[in-house]
Structure formats: C-alpha cells, structure tokens
Amino acid sequence: MFHSKSHLFFDLDHTLWDYEASSNETLQELWVEYKLDSKGVPLNSFVGKFSEVNEELWRRLHAGEINKDVIQNDRFPSILSALALEDNAMATDMQQQYIHVCPTKPYLIDGAMELLESVSGRYGLHIITNGFDEIQGIKLRSGGIGHFFEEVITSGVAGYQKPDKQIFDFAMKKTNAKVEDSLMIGDNPISDIEGAFKAGIDQVFFNPDDQQCPITPTLEIKSLRELMEHV
C-alpha cells in the first residue's frame, strides 16, 4: 500500500516507546521511595491520579493552551495536592526524579522492534515528537532503537508542536522529503493524524484503544505488526 513512499515519520511516546509501562514502573519506584503508603496513598491512587493530571496537561499542551514549563512545574504539585499531600519540596524532587528515571526505561510497544528492523534500509526513518528535547534521545537509546533514525525532530528544535502544520513543514525541509513521498505513523488522533492530514501527508493511525479520530486516516491499525503488511 505504501511501497512508493520514501520516508516514514514516527511519533515516539505511545507509538514506539511504551510510555505507560515506563511511567508506571517509575511511579512505583517513587511511591516506595517516598513511603506514600505510610502517608495514606495506595499505589493505584498515586498512579491513577498521575495519569489523570498528566493526560489533561498534555491535552492542554497539544491544544496550545499551555507550554511545557507548565507540565514541568505543575504536574506533581497538582497530583500531591489532589491526594491531600501539600508538600512542594517533595513534589519538586519527584518531578526531577521522574524526568531523569522514566526515560531510561527500555520498554517498547509490542511489535516496534520488528517493524523498525523490517523497514530499516528501505525507507528514511525519522521521529517527530512533542516530547521534551533533552529526554527523547535518552528514550531512543534506552529502547535500543536510536540507530534506526536519521532525524529526530522535536517541537523544541522546530519551534512548533504537532498538530501545527509548520512542524511537518520543518520536518520535510530537514529531511529533504516531499509530502507525497512521506507517511506519518502515530497514536494521537489530533497531533499526529489530523496534523499530518492538514500538512498533506498520508497517515497511519495506530489505534489499539479505539480512540475517535476527527478525520478518516489513510490507514488505521490495532498493532504495529499490521503495518508490516503495507510497507
């Protein structure tokens, strides 16, 4: 289906690198280290509140309502406050540990390594991510997949974030790719799929959780292995 393409652009978190597994393991380590159980906070409450707060902050970031500094500064204070733990010093320490430890986890989405090994050498492979500049490279190395990619385009480097068309335009120029020869693979229906669509790029919507998408993607898949049948 996509054999005429020359460049594959991947999102990183939730598409190739398993953010949920990495984050949950890191949160469990923080829960133990800070003895949150003795403070009346069960592990599932801590992880659940993190997911709730984190997802809302990233939703607001993708919508252009906040910048990344707000995520860095507000995430753990909001989580602890919601759990009736008003401790700014602990929140600051947790945030620093989280951003240093979580990216070192090696977990990949099922099928990611097989897919990359299958397409490596046949396409130009690149990353387009809204993730923090300083940690995306760590994730790629930790997962053992950094060597597959020619370019890693972050929103910080591009000056724009997905779904803004300009980050996709930047990616085309950076990689000497043409939109008609390119394919965007990602899990976010807005930032990855609608963003690529508006930039004129075909899209593969990795949708294991049955999310709603505002457009009809070029292809929708439930597992990364499905894509191997089309590239």
CATH number, domain containing residue 13: 3.40.50.1000
| Domain of 122, in residue numbers | 7-17+108-227
Q: Please, which pLDDT band fits residue 172 given cuts at 50, 70 and 90?
A: very high
- Indicate the range of 54-58, 108-112, 124-128 predicted with least confidence: 54-58
Q: How many CB atoms lie within 10 A of CB 67?
A: 11
- Interatomic CA distance for residues 226 and 178, integer angstroms: 25
Centroid of chain to Cα 23: 12
Portion of the chain with pLDDT greater than 70, in percent: 100
What is the chain's mean pLDDT, rounded? 96
Q: What pLDDT shows up at residue 139?
A: 98
Q: Over 90: is that where the pLDDT of 131 sits?
A: no
Taking a C-beta distance cutoff of 8 angstroms, is the pair 148, 124 a contact?
A: no
Angle at alpha carbon of residue 180, lines to 177 and 181, rounded to 5°: 50
The residue from 59, 77, 104 where one domain ends is 104
Q: How many CB atoms lie within 10 A of CB 123?
A: 20
Q: What pLDDT shows up at residue 134?
A: 82
Q: And the tokens for 141? A: 């190395």
**For 40-92, how does the pLDDT look when each residue is reduced to its tens digit (9 = 90+)?**
999 999 999 999 999 999 889 888 898 888 998 999 999 999 999 989 999 99
> 154 and 90, same structural domain?
no
Q: Over 90: is that where the pLDDT of 153 sits?
A: yes
